[in-house]
Amino acid sequence: MAITLGFDIYGTLIDPHGVTVKLSELIGDKAAEFSLTWRTKQLEYTFRRGLMRDYENFPVCTRNALDYADQVFKTNLSEDDKQALMDAYRVLPAYDDVPAALAKIRAAGFRMYGFSNGVAEAVSGLLEHAGISEYFDGVVSVDDVKTYKPNPDVYQHFVESTGSDKSNAWLVSSNPFDVQGAINYGMQAAWLHRFPDVVFDPWGIEPTIVIQDLVEIVERVK
């Protein structure tokens, strides 16, 4: 059976900080720091909602985190400004290396799925806008099970939805919490060390492989 790859989307294939272009128009030199706070809180809110078993979808967490950052930075964004930023989040760019790498991975014969905290429609739209949707067999969203990574139920959902099993299913992610969630569940996982300053959480749960470039998957995932 062909190996099934589940690619995390935000932070792995798609740059969530692409929103700083719109942020710069609205708040100037605070944009980068604002974006970092927004992203950090967005993830925190998914963790908290998962633990509380009080699910709201990813756009809700994203908007709540935007409201939080607006208050922290005292930017007083209008409702129209916030909607413009939420709209920008739906058309974020892929990282520069992604299209060519995905083409090579696809040509190597892997089954490929987007696997995200995002809702399926939004993720599909992102992949389409970024010009990379053609490489994927489908999108698997946590929204179907109403919880978030790294809950084991999410990874079980991926395996079931793609007709694979733990022995031939891999996660590819730049997010350490996601990699550890997949390993904890029993999948294999490639940590894309996209940013040199990011430290992998020292929990004793290590990635199956560490890659510096997506294209390494072709040779290293077996």
Q: Can you tell me the mean pLDDT for 181-204? A: 97
The CA distance from 56 to 48, in Å, is: 11
Residues annotated as part of the active site = 8
Q: How confident is the model at residue 8 (pLDDT cuts 50, 70, 90)?
A: very high
pLDDT at 209: 98
CA nearest neighbour of 157 among 175, 174, 173, 169: 169
pLDDT at 131: 97
CA R_g for the chain: 17
List Cβ neighbours of 92 (8 Å cut-off, separation of 6 or more): 10, 14, 15, 16, 18, 19, 126, 129, 130
pLDDT at 193: 98
Query: pLDDT for 23-66, tens place per residue?
Result: 999 999 999 999 999 999 999 999 999 999 999 999 999 999 99
Query: pLDDT for 78-97, tens place per residue?
Result: 999 999 999 999 999 999 99
Name the CATH superfamily, with its identifier, for domain 4-14+92-220: HAD superfamily/HAD-like (3.40.50.1000)
Query: pLDDT for 61-82, tens place per residue?
Result: 999 999 999 999 999 999 999 9
Q: How confident is the model at residue 1 (pLDDT cuts 50, 70, 90)?
A: confident
Domain ranges of the chain: 4-14+92-220, 16-89
Q: Can you tell me the mean pLDDT for 142-170? A: 97
The CA distance from 20 to 31, in Å, is: 6
- As a whole-number percent, the residues of the chain with pLDDT over 70 amount to 100
CATH architecture of 16-89: Orthogonal Bundle (1.10)
Q: Can you tell me the mean pLDDT for 112-134? A: 98
